[in-house]
Chains A and B, each alone.
Chain A
């Protein structure tokens, strides 16, 4: 049986045309039939038919909606149309991928057949198919979730940045319109937006850099101190130093907000009044609010870095230090040339993640005093960073278009940083 089939194929091999197989595949499945892979061809054909029957209407409405954003106010909801439009684009991508797969598959099989390949039995074909599809099947659930929770909203946000969706023009009562780069131009041209954007952006960068760097310095100093062999009770000390990381941050931030309260907070009552004879407007003056926020973030953030450093310090070989002693190296030199490079090298990726964490550290800004205090001539508070500003624009002011435009600018910054950063990491180079 097997031999017979092989023989008949050997006779046919010269007559089997690759080109014809690909041409027939313009109708999905036909090329596979020509290759005598009946089951595969039928499945492909049925899937293509089902795809067209079920999604044609949806996709054409989606594309129309994406172009026009609706034509009848009150009936067409521009937001729903954008969502349908994005889904349609996804479906088109999936469909195109499927179609290309169909062409490539027909060609591959035809080439193999014309070279005298014996068709596998149904069972073997199924097993091959399962082997090929398995890695994709594994990532599919995670990927689907990722698409719907991360990619889809990001796309939606990108599109919103080019519409006029604000509190005066909100669906479903009104229709949205595409406005091109108007929102971005507003950030540059309208004084209130420009000034707010520049001041929020510069504070975001200062905040990210200062708070994170202080965190790391404090953690480094403490880790080196506690690691000193003359210090006793290391275990207890380390446990206490990790405590601020272990307590949920939202609890401690709210506690600090009360402690820093201008009128009755313990910082003013217990430290500033007795020592300096005056209280400090921690919550109502922008500069003092910022100072307080940085101090609180250092309190919250140093323990994690401290724990990382401690782990690394314990792994630095003693011999290095002994060798340095023989050469007469001072304490400072030992720190500078042995400890510091070692610690920073081992923890670099995690330290960089600390910077990106603080760039997006919404919790502390919002929970401390909701980004306040208010500043004249701005529509963001004195301590707002980009992400908390976007939050307020969205949920308090309903300026969705501006919020989206600012998010987009933030996203570009993050992406640029991410690409720069991952180019350097080992795994990226290994994979690339």
Chain B
């Protein structure tokens, strides 16, 4: 009897903790959603449950001539798609080389990648800024894409190499005996088998430009080149209380698709990461 009481108390306790966590997690998110439906731009008079439900901020984002929201969305998509495709391709090439070939300098190559992945691209921001300025790529999406690409390679190459290492070597050896060349082993055997980790790499690189604020803030100067993160930050940074409802509306439109993708793929992302990292 007392054991049952104890068990029941424990379960209640656990549910209580979960309930508190639910409130802490949901409150800020619902508050933002509520704000985005408020009339006017005044944070003081806005409330989580709008007195007058209104979509004016959403309409403003898409239709007002002063709004660059659609352009920012387009910029972000361009950067994200390019980075995702090109980075995944380069990463796969690099990982294939490190995983399947034994060549002089291989070990040092791997060490270089391992150590460089610890340095954030940001460490060289002084240099990046001056460098891009000198070659005229400041305030351009191309400059941003190049830097995302360079930063993405070491870390991801290592993840993918770890995954490639788990694919039995006998597979490509037998293909070689059948006359397959370097590239056909890569494209017909390795890449199809490594689809899960490649998808993880592609997805993470696609998401980065949606989430990153810092690099765009260093590189991009004019409003029509902004990515979403930078543009939305300026909504709240210019006059804090004035545009917060508009920021809320813009944020909801990013957060909902991204969160959906993450929640749908979470199991997959986690297993890809753990397998790559622990085996890598």
Contact = CB atoms under 8 A, between A and B. Distances in A.
Interface of A: 79-80, 83, 131-132, 134-136, 138-139, 141-143, 145-146, 148-157, 160, 221-222, 225-226, 228, 230-231, 237, 239-252, 254-259, 264, 266, 299, 307-308, 311-312, 346-347, 349-350, 353, 356, 360, 362-363, 366-367, 387, 390-391, 394-395, 400, 403-404, 407, 410-411, 414-415, 417-419, 422, 427-428, 431-432
A366 B113 CA distance: 28
A79 B130 contact: yes
Contacts of A155: 127
Interface in B193-221: 210-214, 218
A230 B6 CA distance: 13
A157 B151 contact: no
Contact of A138 (B22, B32, B97, B233): B97
A139 B262 contact: no
Given A145-B146, A366-B214, A432-B107, 5 more contacts: A149-B151, A250-B211, A252-B29, A350-B273, A367-B233
Nearest to A427: B280
A208 to B, nearest CB: 13
Given A241-B25, A311-B274, A366-B214, A418 B124 contact: no
A247 B115 contact: no
Contacts of A83: 130-131, 134
A389 B278 CA distance: 34
Contacts of B44: 264
Interface string B256-280: 0011001100100011011001111
B104 to A, nearest CB: 9
Interface stretch (B10-18, B49-57, B59-67): B10-18
A156 B146 contact: no
B16 to A, nearest CB: 10
Interface string B239-270: 01100100110010011001100110010001
Contacts of A259: 28, 31
Contacts of B130: 79, 83, 156
A13 B42 CA distance: 92
A247 B259 contact: yes
A218 to B, nearest CB: 9
A250 B233 contact: yes
B229 A248 contact: yes
Nearest to B150: A149
Contacts of B184: none
A356 to B, nearest CB: 6
Contacts of A244: 25
Contact of B254 (A80, A251, A266, A346): A251
Contacts, number: 256
Given A146-B153, A153-B127, A256 B109 contact: no
B5 interface: no
Nearest to A428: B114
B25 A240 contact: yes
A266 B23 CA distance: 14
Given A226-B18, A431-B110, A139 B28 contact: no
Contacts of A418: 114-115, 118
A230 B7 contact: yes
A307 B91 contact: no
A242 B262 contact: yes
B30 to A, nearest CB: 11
A240 B115 CA distance: 35
Given A151-B116, A248-B210, A254 B106 contact: no
A243 B263 contact: yes
Contacts of B21: 222, 240-241
A154 B15 contact: no
A240 B147 CA distance: 34
Nearest to B100: A135
Contact of B126 (A353, A394, A410): A394
A347 to B, nearest CB: 7
B128 interface: yes
Contacts of B7: 230
A80 B133 CA distance: 10
A80 B134 contact: yes
A247 B255 contact: yes
Contact of B115 (A149, A248, A264, A415): A415
A206 to B, nearest CB: 20
B258 A350 contact: no
